[in-house]
Amino acid sequence: MPLLTPADGIVLPLFGRSLRLRVAAIRRVQWRMAADGLEELHFPVQGNAVHAVQRALQARALAWYLGRVEEYCLRLGLPVPPVRLSSARTRWGSCSSRSGIRLHWRLVHLPPELIDYVVAHEVAHLREMNHSARFWAVVASVCSDWRNARARLKAAALTLPVIGLAGEADVGFVDFED
């Protein structure tokens, strides 16, 4: 996984598209559309760039994930649980009948169909809290191409950027699973 230190002009993936980072003389982070059609995240010259970029991506991720969880719950006729972000080292998502669904914020770097697989997987756990044949049937009912998505997710996990500063220790992740 490539270590990405936020700097002006760096491009990183966001929901399967490109996002350009821009350092600007501003007080707080701003999302903008550039004249060339590329979305940009402007962050302040002063302050902690890693923190600013991560927080902006996390806010964007949570808003998007909420909508996707609602959609999959609607498809399965389930109430929408609380949705929170995770920074877990070994899981893309988790589901608890008590605390709801947690989704890793770095999923934001993946194409929507791969994020949807993770969301469908976690929402399916609201019906089946296991990985039985019945569970996979629930997943298949809302994500028919789940096997392909799962394989693509495993491969994509190795290429996602890790936002940090050069020299930071322990930025790697082990292979992600449910």
What does the pLDDT look like over 103-149, one tens digit per residue? 999 999 999 999 999 999 999 999 999 999 999 999 999 999 999 99
pLDDT for residue 86 is more than 50:
yes
Using alpha carbons, list the distances in angstroms from residue 109 to 51, 77, 104, 128: 17, 29, 11, 28
What confidence category does residue 169 fall into, taking pLDDT thresholds of 50, 70 and 90?
very low
Q: Which of these ranges, 31-35, 59-63, 155-159, has the smallest mean pLDDT?
A: 155-159
Going along the chain from its start, the domains and CATH numbers come out as 49-163 (3.30.2010.10)
How confident is residue 166, by pLDDT bands cut at 50, 70 and 90?
low
Distances (CA, A) of 152 to 56, 106, 147: 26, 15, 9
User: Is the pLDDT assigned to residue 165 strictly greater than 80?
Assistant: no
Alpha helices in the chain (DSSP H): 49-76, 112-124, 133-142, 146-156
Tell me phi and psi for residue 29, to 5 degrees.
-60, 140
Tell me if 91 sits within 8 A of 178, measured CB to CB.
Answer: yes
Radius of gyration of the chain (CA): 17
Label residue 178 by pLDDT band (50, 70, 90). Answer: low
pLDDT band at 164 (very low <50, low <70, confident <90, very high): confident
Please indicate, yes or no, whether the overall pTM of this predicted structure exceeds 0.95: no
Distances (CA, A) of 7 to 89, 108, 123: 25, 19, 36
